[in-house]
Amino acid sequence: MTTEILPNLVAGTNAQRNATTGRVDQLIAILRGLVMAADTGLSRLSAMEEGLVRYAAALRNERRPGKMEELGRLLWVEPMLRPKKVAERLEMTIAGAGKVLSRAAALDLIVEVSERDSWKAYVTPDVGLALGLLTKPIGRPRRWPNAPDHIRPTLGALAAR
């Protein structure tokens, strides 16, 4: 999905400011932090790509997708949404935005995290796990298949916009 190197930030330690000895140990600790940040970044990128493939497959199977395609593109850049925000960004009513979000939630593409009727918030599963809003499922993780050939045009259309 990307050809650019993704940046990772590693904070140094307080001991680095005044240390005259032990710099090798400090460097090793910083490099370990960089490796952990890179692993986290790669796993998050993999989860985003997996979500895009699942979204494209769901769109391909929908008989009348409506604003679902636009919602998928919006979720790619804003993984936590409320109906009011969707209504503003996709130029639709708040009720219509709530229905589109509910449809996406019914397809397990997003998860409702607010548990309130008057103020609903939806998040993609990978971001919900990263923020601690969702609990990690117990047991063997579901293996999503690679993008089948019949949804590649949908993936290309989503990526092009």
Task: State the Cα–Cα distance between residues 57 and 84, nearest whole angstrom.
Answer: 26
User: How confident is the model at residue 1, as a pLDDT?
Assistant: 47
- Are residues 87 and 96 in contact, defined by beta-carbon separation less than 8 angstroms? yes
Q: What confidence tens digit (pLDDT) does each residue in 58-107 have?
A: 887 778 878 888 888 888 888 889 999 999 999 999 999 989 999 998 88
Q: Which H or E run contains 24?
A: helix 23-61
Hey, how many other C-beta atoms are within 10 angstroms of the C-beta on 72? 23
Q: pLDDT band at residue 145, thresholds of 50, 70 and 90?
A: low
The domains of the chain, with CATH numbers, are 46-137+145-160 (1.10.10)
Q: What confidence tens digit (pLDDT) does each residue in 24-33 have?
A: 777 788 788 8
User: How confident is the model at residue 80, as a pLDDT?
Assistant: 87
- What mean pLDDT is predicted for residues 6-25? 65
Backbone torsions φ then ψ of 112, nearest 5 degrees: -80, 130
User: How confident is the model at residue 117, as a pLDDT?
Assistant: 65
What does pTM read for this prediction?
Answer: 0.66
